[in-house]
Chains A and B, each alone.
Chain A
Amino acid sequence: MSCQTRQFNKLRWTTCLLVVFTLVGQIAAQPAGGETTFAPVVRRVQPRIVKIYGAGGPRGLEAYQSGFVISSEGHILTVWSYVLDTNFVTAVLDDGRRFKAELVGADPRVEIAVLKIEAEDLQHFNLDDAVELSAGSRILAFSNLFNVAVGDEAASVLHGNVAGRTRLAARRGAFDSAYDGPAYVLDAMTNNPGAGGGALTDRRGQLAGIIGKELRNQLDNTWLNYAIPISEVQLSVEQIISGQLQPRTDDPDLRKPEAPITLALLGIILVPDILAKTPPYIDSVASGSPAEEAGLQRDDMILFVNDRLAGSASDLKETLSFIDRIDEVRLLVQRGRTLVETSLFAPDE
């Protein structure tokens, strides 16, 4: 046997082994599909799930919802709902620790809000690592539906599949939703009371979506199980955390104009401000006012003023006080379940 042929043989055997290893590697990397248990995945995800308590009570409105940690320093992503209409929102982590949660900001267009608690080194989901799912993908849904878990008890987990990815707008009229973008429709009973804000993951526990608020079909009284893909809310989350989409706060560097705009100048009369966080609903519109001209109506709720979150009646007034009365006022209002954008100017004096 010559040296050359020996080398040649060595090469062939190496090639052969490479082929074998590649094949074995491929098989190992194949989705097993026949998981004996999701328990390790569930254990890994659960420390990131948050139980959220806030406003509610009358008419069967549950005073709780779900959320999940999205930064090590305590940012929590949840759904934007009446539960957050209070200064006293409590977030309970998986280990039972309770925190007072501050509203960082919200984007009612995608119905999400970001809360912040004073905590560090939290296990969290990184939104940049979120995965996209398609019809047939196995999912796990983590939430505190029905407030089953309290204190340090682990949130509930349900399993199912993505039935389809579609726009909620397709069911306008049947399902009243302000959000009309893409959603994962699920074949599991994920969207129960308190489940909104929970995390939708793939079968490996990778974040894929946020469980939406309850949506009842007005035609046949069925309930939709869905989640909003993370890619649809990520920009809003980034804007909220970077300081946009937040209510105007007291910033010493910002000077208020000498003659700011007021609600009275625009002809907007809000419902009486009796709560700590009264939602800014329009009670009436003065006749002949810019508000009437712009088509604003009674019961419209003001969401944004010049891309600033209105938040509450008092926050709205504070935000207006930073706008000069000669400047444009762009309002985003919610009318029923639709969003309406308008532009107003104060009348010349």
Chain B
Amino acid sequence: MKRLNVRFEFFLAVILLVIPTMAWSDDGVPEAVLEAQRLRTEAIARAVKSAISVYSADGKGGGSGVVISADGYALSNFHVTSPVGDYMQCSMSDGRLYDAVIVGLDPTGDVALIKLFGRDDFPPAVMADSDEVQAGDWCFAVGNPFLLATDFQPTVTYGIVSGVHRFQFPAGTILEYADCIQTDASINPGNSGGPLFNADGQLIGINGRGSFEKRGRVNVGLGYAISINQIKNFMGHLRSGRIVDHATLGATVAVDPDGRVVVSNILETSDAYRRGLRYGDEVLRFGGRKIRSVNGFKNVLGIYPRGWRVPLTCLRDGEKYELLVRLAGVHAREKLIELVQKKTRKRTGRPMPPDKRPGAPDKKPLTPKGPKTPVIPDALTKFIKKKAGYANYYFNQQSLQRVWNGCRTGGDFSKFTGIWNLTGQTTDADEISIQLGHGNSAVTVPEGRSTVVMGTDFSEQLGPAGSGGLLAALHIWRRVLIEGPSKIGDAYYLGTQPLRGHDGLFDVVVVTFDVVEVQMSFDPASGRLVALEMFSELGEDPCEIYFGDYRDVAGLQFPHRMLVRHGDGIFAEIEFVDIELAIAKEET
């Protein structure tokens, strides 16, 4: 009895003592609060490491950015890097200053990719899935507002997400913030290009814009960040060193009196039209999202690069139908280059938006008179290559080489310059026989024989009928495999794109041969050529060849199956039974 009592008393005492100490610290702050504070501090400490401040070569102006890979690739805003130029310096919280060069530009999306040098173990930010972000979530911005970080320590501003999937109309001529994240974390001039993190310190966006209006260029509670998911779509393109373009459907939508989002205008030359989209069709889903407003539609358009194929679900006469639409570019290539160059020229030597400190009078920022050519360190000059249409051609050459090297791991075709004889059967049991040569090629199908001859317009030789130019495409394919993309015409690395019937993104190389353009998609893991699309003419559907069943032929990995599509239909699915690749010299 006595023992039991003691045990009971002891138990009560323990409970009374332990529970309060579990929940409250000595100074009366609930443990949950202290725990939240600890997590917050840790997240900030982690995230701050990846933040950078961007300065022009003369140490002035600039903005912010964030490192996203150990080898030094970093994101910023186009409007931050464009006045700075091809070469810049970036500071990090480790107190060091790193040299950096421009890699790729997305002027419409206001994104710039740069590369820092000097380390191979930069601390990259971890990217989150920004579609998971919700209004009310905690978030924080890191950057260099008002260029306060004279000791290179970035500023952290905490807030919540005020809204998601916001559409902010183009400011001036070009910068459009589609599908962006709105936050009340203080975003000021100088924060531009810097990261927006979620509460766990994962990257959800790139800060770049605010609503200001009549209260001067200081934060009034509304900042906007480009969603990191949008940037993920553009990442391959940005790494290509190009000036990349955004997309248009070739059709516009409007809300009708019944509140339906309907096609209000459509170009007959657009892929959307060829796929069957018509005036008055109701748009139900686009890119996997429900469309309930014009802004919602523009938000989806804004997150995809030009040329991507995006699913569209429409309703016509009560019938639902689905399309896979290839998006066209927003700008003509020349126009885009002109916009970028004009912007650069206009702003050269000027230290950027953070030109005004709060309360400072509205006067011209202090800038050196006239553009000053920055002195680029010798070690860096080889990483900068100028070419029209490119932010930095160096990175395009690197990527092109990387993709081509990957492809060649499957075999070196350079000796197989003789006739390639491919014999096979279609799934309809039709015999098909293909001879590919250097000067001309031929294909024989039950309907007859087609040829392509070098020296005559390739866009006129689109046999076999209904294929969109299968023979010409294969002719170019052979030439590329033997000679390499750069040898046979103008070739460049486009970036990454999704591929019909495949998961993930594929490295795309574009080759112009004769008057036609060929897009080749390579599996980034195996390096293998997965698809080739030949565009004979603007406004025409390409011939699409999907390669499969790679097996050994004469020590080379060679596809034994080809799925050939044109327009909405399958032209043929071919299984090759006999493949001969001649090393012998040229045919007659």
Contacts and interface: CB of A to CB of B under 8 A. Distances in A.
Given A20-B15, A157-B162, 8 more contacts: A24-B19, A37-B134, A37-B136, A38-B160, A156-B135, A158-B160, A189-B222, A190-B221
A158 B134 contact: no
B297 to A, nearest CB: 11
Interface string B234-261: 0000000000000000000001000100
Q: In the A-B complex, list the 9 residue pairs whose CB atoms are closest, starting with the nearest.
A: A34-B36, A189-B221, A38-B136, A42-B136, A39-B136, A33-B33, A39-B134, A151-B293, A158-B184
B163 A156 contact: yes
19 contacts: A16-B12, A20-B19, A23-B16, A32-B36, A34-B30, A34-B36, A36-B138, A37-B137, A40-B136, A146-B213, A146-B222, A148-B166, A148-B211, A149-B163, A149-B166, A151-B255, A157-B135, A190-B221, A193-B213
Interface in A29-65: 30-43, 46, 60
Contacts of B288: none
A152 to B, nearest CB: 5
A39 B137 contact: yes
B311 interface: no
Given A153-B293, A192-B222, A60 B214 contact: yes
A34 B160 contact: no
A304 B276 CA distance: 62
A110 interface: no
Contacts of A148: 163, 166, 182, 211, 222
B10 to A, nearest CB: 11
Interface stretch (A5-13, A267-275, A306-314, A321-329): A5-13
A154 B137 CA distance: 14
B163 A38 contact: no
B295 A150 contact: yes
B134 A151 contact: no
Contacts of B360: none
Contacts of A157: 135-136, 160, 162-163, 184
Contacts of A153: 163, 165-166, 293, 295
B295 A27 contact: no
Nearest to B39: A34
Given A5-B1, A16-B8, A42-B135, A156 B293 contact: no
A307 B160 CA distance: 44
Interface string A175-194: 00000000000001110110
Interface string B157-195: 001101101100000000000000010100000000000
A23 B292 contact: no
B292 A151 contact: yes
A245 B155 CA distance: 51
A235 B293 CA distance: 39
B8 A12 contact: yes
Contact of A34 (B22, B32, B259): B32
A39 B160 CA distance: 10
B509 to A, nearest CB: 40
Contacts of A24: 19
A150 B137 contact: no
Nearest to B20: A23
B465 interface: no
A159 B160 contact: yes
A79 interface: no
A193 B22 CA distance: 47
Contacts of A189: 184, 219-222
Contacts of B23: 27, 30
A158 B223 CA distance: 11
B140 to A, nearest CB: 12
